[in-house]
Every structure is written in structure tokens, then in C-alpha cells.
Structure 1
Amino acid sequence: MTTRFTCRTRRTRRTRRTRTLRVAGAVAAALLAMSACSSSDDSSSSDDSSSEELSGKVTVFAAASLKESFTTLGKEFEKAHPGTEVTFSFGGSDSLAASITGGAPADVFASASPKTMAIVTDKKDNATEPVTFVRNQLEIATLPGNPDKVSSLKDLTKSGLKVVLCAKEVPCGAAAQKALEADGLELTPVSYEEDVKAALNKVVLKEADAAVVYRTDVRAAGGKVEGVEFPESADAVNDYPIALLKNAPSAGAAKAFIAFVRSAEGQKVLTGAGFLKP
């Protein structure tokens, strides 16, 4: 009887020890999981706070056609990040690229074509890899009411019609030439302008009867001009790339601004202005 009792007692003790070890192991695993979650949460919280604590002045060189949209985006970005300030230099993409390669201090370059972006990126260590964030299409801007009855690209070749184009070196000018060539048309404008805003302004001031500009600029001008679509514009759609410039004085805030431009919120502002999604 005694021997049987001892064996049973030993088996009972072993069972209890086994259960105790299992429970202890489960508790340890739970504690480790909780620790990992806590660490992950802390890391996430740290990332969030760092994004909220962005600061610095972001200088953006951007194509003239982006003026209205980027001005809006700059204000929204500053509102989301109170420690930041976004300033812009708008103009012809070619002249902006020349300024950057000439040493002008800037954080971000947004160009109206890959060709003008390449002026910067082809120079070693000038910028990070650019990414297309929107596209844009041409339209004819006429005087309000379209008094000259312009309905096609060919109509711009009418005798006596004063037409303005962007300079051929500027993306909107290069796109216009491509559209004209696609239709086998030759056009002699009364002037070539340094950027799309200058070309549009000639019509606004009634110094020209029509200009080939971007549809986003026609929309931005409101009732000051009337837009005329033409099918050849589909053969000359411009991609708009954006890039962080190397040695950017405010690299952290500049990266965040580029991310904001590409975000759903940023794209909503841009497509609302007439830009096409990339």
C-alpha cells in the first residue's frame, strides 16, 4: 500500500510541476507579446510626433502652370505642420532648371516636363530620382465669347489672327509644336512667351486673339478667357515630375511636402484644377 501511495504522489507532483511550467511559459509569452506591442506603439507614436514636429522653410521651384494649385497646397501643408513655411518660385521650367544648376538654393523642383527635369537630374548629385505626380493637356485660350470663332488648331493659321505661343524651350511651347506637327500645321505667332502665364496674359490683356496654353491655366483664368479643346492635344500631353534636390536646406520638411503633393488630398487639389492623374 505504501509503495502505491508513493508512486501516485510522485506522479501527482510531476503533473503539477508540468502544469506550473506550462502556465509560466504562457504568461511569459503573453508578457513578451505585450512588450512587443508596446514597443511598436511607442515607435509608431514616435514617428507620428516627428511628422507633426516638422519645421523649417521649404523652397519650391515650380512650373508656372502649378502656381494656383501649389499655392493652395503650400497653405494646407503649413496648416498641417505649424512649424513649417513653404515659399515658391514659379516660372518657365527651363529657366528654373538653369537657376538650380547655377546654384540657386532650393529644396524641391517640380517641372512641367521630364526633359526640363533632366537638366537638373543629369547633373551628378543634383537631385533624387524624380517621380511623375500629374499630367497636363493643351487647350486654346481665346477672348471671352470667342469672337474669332476659333474651333480648331487649324483655325489659328487664319490670316490676321494674332496668336501667341510659349517659347519652344518651355514645356508648353514644345508641346504646342508637337501638336502642330501632328496635324502638319505651320504657325507664325506674333510672339513667343517665356512661360504659359505670360502667353495667357497676352489674351487676357487683349494683346492677342488666342494662345496655346494648358487647360489648367484656362480654368484658373475664369471668365477672362474662353477655352477651346482640340484633338491634337492628346498627342502632346506633358508629364510633370517632382524631385527632392540634393543638399536641400530643409530636406525633412521637403520630403513631407512632396509626399503631401502625391497624397490623395494633394491629388484632389490638382485634379480639381484640371490636371490629369499620372
Structure 2
Amino acid sequence: MNRSERRACRRLRVAGAGVAALLALSACSSSDSDSSAQLDSPASASAPDKLSGITVFAAASLKETFTTLGEQFEKEHPDTKVTFSFGGSDALAASITGGAPADVFASASPKTMKVVTDGGAAYGAPATFARNELEIATLPDNPDKIASLKDLTKSDLKVVLCDRAAPCGSATEKALDTARLKLTPASYEEDAKTALTKVVLKEADAAVVYKTDVKAAGDKVEGVDFPESAVAISGYPIALLKKSQNTVAAEAFIALVQSPAGQKILSRAGFLKP
């Protein structure tokens, strides 16, 4: 091989190395692009075969029904544990947008769910799975003879309401505005369950809460309907969260809530159909 031939071979080897490098870079770029696409999809955000449970943030008024649904879900999925965090929807929404790890959020109002969706913390559009109506909770046998929303304005009554930021508080304000009534409560409570507890403990004469809360309390309180509640019915939306580490199980739980079996449990507790 003469000198010219040797130089030509060297040029080919250098060119070959360059092509190999370009191919390697192209492969890396393609791999990075695929990874980014996977991170943006709900299905790739979880590894259900490596995880044993889901965390559900839910409105306090869902405690009894969701506990029952959680037990049913665990029977159907023995390897998946459902952990609940119940509380005021507004407080839960703030926790979620603040980065709290959870898989599912079930809110007592579209307004508090919007905080989560506007914050980019949920996948897709939330689905309304139930509705709830307000009711006055009084002491057993209604000793103060409360028969209407107007009766709660009597000065000798100790009445508690949900905080205005909570769904039940917002709904109560709407009902009071419709009735053109002003009511100054003895206290504002974090959520409907807390307000109801004040009556159960006889620390208050009455509270405006959800019908489902009154029903769940049994004979510890008495419920009084009022017509203005019809204008303040709350829809309950549910959504899959982007922080979910087990989206397959989370979606299965949401499906159970929306299923005929789930709807039957909710209806039995006093919830209205979506």
C-alpha cells in the first residue's frame, strides 16, 4: 500500500468514527425524548407491581362511605391498601397544591376541586360522582322546636356553621342569602363533621351541615329540612392526581366510586345521584 492509499484509509476511519458518534448521539436524543413523553403520561407515572397502596384525600362528609368503599376495594385487590386523609376540602386542596403526596382527591365542591386543577395537580377533567344537600342538625327530639332556617337567628340559640371557605359553609351562605337572613354563629368550624360534633357534644343547639352527616350521626341528633337548601346543593367531583405513584390502582378506586356498587353505597348514606 503506497502513501496515498494509506492517507485515504485514515480519512475513511475518521469519517467512520464521526458517523458512529452521530448515531450514538441520535440514539441518546431519541431515548431522552421517549423518557420525557413517558413522564407526561399517567400510566408511566406508576409502578403498581412495586407498590402496595394508594392514598385518597377526601372531604370529611365522605368518611363513612369512603371507608366502606375502601374496605370493598381492598377485598377486591388484596395486595393494595387504601389510606384515607379526611378533612375540609379547602384544606385538602391547599395541601395537594402544596405538594402533599396523594393519588386521588374527592372534594365536596367543584370550587375546591378547581384549586387543584388550576394548580396543575390533577390529570384530566374531574368527574362528579355524587351530590349533597344541607340540613339543620338539632339536639335529639329538637327541644328548641327549630323548624326553619329563620329559627336559627333567635338570640337565645347557640348555632355553629362551617367555615365560609369550606364547601358546606359556602353552601350555607348561599342558602342564607336566598332566605335574606343574617346569622351570626357562635363559631365557624373547619368542616361539616366538626360542626356536627358540637351538637352531638351538646356544645351547640344546632348546626347547618349535610344531610349525610345527620344520617350518619343516627339518634345523636335530629335533622330539620329547609327549602332554601335546594339552591345550595353541592356536587362532589373526584380526580386522579399527578403525584400518584400508583395510577392503575388509583383509577380502579375511582371506577369503583362511580360503579353501580359504589353509587348504591353513596345513595344508602343519603347522597344524591350525580
**TM-score when scaled to structure 1?**
0.80
Aligned 1:107-256 pairs, distance under 5 A: 107-256=103-252
Name the CA distance, whole Å, in 1 between partners of 2:123 and 2:168: 23
Equivalent in the alignment of 1:98: 94
Identity %: 70
Shift of 1:83: 1.0
Matched, 1:76 2:72: yes
Q: Give SS of 1:82's match.
A: coil
Equivalent in the alignment of 1:89: 85
Equivalent in the alignment of 2:53: 57
Equivalent in the alignment of 1:260: 256
Name the CA distance, whole Å, in 1 between partners of 2:231 and 2:218: 26
Q: Give SS of 1:61's match.
A: strand
Question: Does the CA-based 8 Å contact 2:97-2:121 persist in structure 1?
Answer: no
Shift of 1:124: 2.5
Shift of 1:128: 2.7
Moved more, 123-132 or 77-86: 123-132
Query: C-alpha deviations, 1:5-53, integer Å up to 9, x for none?
Result: xxxxxxxxxxxxxxxxxxxxxxxxxxxxxxxxxxxxxxxxxxxxxxxx9
Q: Give SS of 2:125's match.
A: coil
Name the CA distance, whole Å, in 1 between partners of 2:237 and 2:94: 16
Q: Give SS of 1:75's match.
A: helix
Equivalent in the alignment of 2:14: none
Number of aligned positions between the proteins = 226
In the alignment, residue 74 of structure 1 is paired with which amino acid?
A: G
**What CA RMSD, in Å, does the superposition of the two structures yield over aligned residues?**
1.2
Q: Which runs of 5+ in 1 are unaligned?
A: 1-52
Query: C-alpha deviations, 1:184-206, integer Å up to 9, x for none?
Result: 00000000000111100000000
Query: C-alpha deviations, 1:226-251, integer Å up to 9, x for none?
Result: 00000100000000000000131111
Question: Does the CA-based 8 Å contact 1:128-1:246 persist in structure 2?
Answer: no
Shift of 1:54: 11
Q: Give SS of 2:156's match.
A: coil
Would the alpha carbon gap of residues 141 and 256 (structure 1) be closer, same or farther in structure 2, given more than 3 Å must change? same
Q: Give SS of 2:86's match.
A: strand
Shift of 1:55: 6.3
Query: C-alpha deviations, 1:207-232, integer Å up to 9, x for none?
Result: 00000000000000001000000010
Shift of 1:125: 4.9
**TM-score when scaled to structure 2?**
0.81
Question: Does the CA-based 8 Å contact 1:164-1:210 persist in structure 2?
Answer: yes
Moved more, 248-257 or 123-132: 123-132
Question: Does the CA-based 8 Å contact 2:103-2:250 persist in structure 1?
Answer: yes
In the alignment, residue 149 of structure 2 is paired with which amino acid?
A: L
Equivalent in the alignment of 2:5: none
Q: Which runs of 5+ in 2 are unaligned?
A: 1-48
Name the CA distance, whole Å, in 1 between partners of 2:59 and 2:124: 18
Name the CA distance, whole Å, in 2 between partners of 1:241 and 1:54: 29
Q: Which structure carries more relative contact order (alpha carbon 8 Å, separation 6+)?
A: 2
Would the alpha carbon gap of residues 96 and 211 (structure 1) be closer, same or farther in structure 2, given more than 3 Å must change? same
